[in-house]
């Protein structure tokens, strides 16, 4: 049987009253930077992660390798144009991106899961949301960083082409205009590819599954679009305009076709292009729907976490 407190031997009144000791802890009185600063920090951190900066050496290999693979052919093209005393580059700026789109897709497939899947796998997403940023801030920062990383990837070879052409004596006006066309194409590729890639990466915590799924979607869609193009008369000497509606089945061909039609870059009927003014409107609408739909689905995905 236990004794009441007043009956415990050796217990004093001071022990019952309790004492609070000041051991020096102080509340934080510095500046509170808030949501916008946290969102910008997440954007910068994610952009650096897309190129392996601040991570291990092997994390830098693939993004830097892809960047080099895209930049080196641009140097070769400029050198060939100068040595042959040509009036323009053998490969136009938007066509350059379309020709090497496979490497852009590889970069996306490899790095989108780095931005999304790793946070899901290591369950760090709830830690972000314990801070002032919201789920919308998180998605916006990740989407912006992926778009910026893709733009850097595509802008580097375009700048190499432009500077080489101008310094090599090729017409300034023509190259400036087509360089801007290339930048428009780069923006469309970056926004559309980032939206689709991040949505797929956000659906799985496994990076390997994310890489395979992104490459599978982009590669299979291009193959299907090519088959439909061939069956619609794409193998003829004079390709009917209706065959180019098949570009709607592939994200890369969708952007290529829209840019070629809007800026008049389709040299012949075989070049990918949107079929007329209606095609331009439909292609642009599809890009907008894919981007906005993917972004909305990402927001829905993270509202459940």
On whether the CB atoms of residues 81 and 89 are closer than 8 A, the answer is: yes
Query: What crossing angle do the helices spanning 251-262 and 172-201 adopt, rounded to 10°?
Result: 150
On whether the CB atoms of residues 213 and 113 are closer than 8 A, the answer is: no
Distance CA 38, CA 131 (A): 8
Distance CA 250, CA 256 (A): 10
What mean pLDDT do residues 33-57 have? 88
Q: What pTM was computed for the model?
A: 0.87
Higher pLDDT pick, 242 / 22:
242
Distance CA 88, CA 153 (A): 23
On whether the CB atoms of residues 138 and 125 are closer than 8 A, the answer is: yes
**Residue 147: is its pLDDT beyond 70?**
yes
The model's pLDDT over 246-301, given as tens digits with 9 standing for 90+, comes to: 999 999 999 999 999 999 988 777 788 899 899 999 999 999 999 999 999 999 98
On whether the CB atoms of residues 88 and 156 are closer than 8 A, the answer is: no
Q: How many CB atoms lie within 10 A of CB 77?
A: 19
What mean pLDDT do residues 35-49 have? 91
| Residue written as token pair 């709607």 | 248
Distance CA 152, CA 45 (A): 16
**pLDDT mean across residues, the chain:** 88
The predicted structure's pLDDT at residue 1: 47
Q: How many CB atoms lie within 10 A of CB 289?
A: 10
The model's pLDDT over 223-245, given as tens digits with 9 standing for 90+, comes to: 999 999 988 887 887 888 888 89
Split at pLDDT 50, 70, 90, the class of 8 is: low
């Amino acid at each position: 049987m236990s004794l009441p407190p007043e009956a415990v031997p050796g217990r004093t009144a001071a022990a019952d009253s309790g004492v609070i000791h000041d051991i020096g802890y102080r509340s934080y009185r510095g500046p509170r930077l808030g949501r916008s600063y946290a969102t910008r920090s997440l954007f910068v951190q994610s952009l650096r992660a897309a190129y392996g900066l601040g991570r291990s050496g092997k994390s830098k290999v693939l993004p830097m390798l892809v960047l080099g693979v895209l930049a080196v052919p641009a140097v070769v093209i400029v050198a060939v144009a100068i040595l042959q005393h040509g009036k323009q580059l053998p490969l136009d700026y938007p066509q350059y991106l379309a020709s090497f789109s496979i490497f852009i897709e590889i970069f996306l497939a490899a790095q989108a899961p780095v931005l999304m899947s790793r946070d899901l796998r290591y369950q760090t997403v709830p830690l972000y949301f314990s801070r002032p940023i919201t789920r919308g801030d998180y998605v916006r920062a990740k989407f912006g960083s992926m778009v910026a990383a893709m733009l850097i990837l595509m802008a580097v070879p375009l700048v190499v082409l432009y500077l080489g052409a101008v310094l090599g004596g090729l017409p300034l006006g023509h190259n400036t205009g087509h360089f801007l066309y290339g930048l428009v194409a780069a923006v469309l590729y970056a926004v559309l590819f980032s939206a689709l890639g991040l949505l797929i990466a956000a659906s799985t915590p496994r990076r390997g599954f994310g890489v395979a799924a992104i490459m599978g979607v982009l590669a299979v869609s291009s193959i299907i679009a090519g088959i439909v193009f061939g069956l619609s008369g794409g193998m003829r000497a004079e390709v009917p305009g209706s065959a180019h509606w098949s570009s709607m089945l592939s994200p890369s061909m969708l952007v290529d076709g829209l840019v070629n039609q809007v800026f008049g870059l389709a040299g012949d009927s075989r070049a990918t292009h949107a079929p007329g003014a209606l095609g331009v409107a439909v292609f642009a609408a599809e890009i907008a729907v894919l981007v906005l739909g993917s972004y909305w689905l990402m927001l829905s995905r993270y509202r459940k976490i």
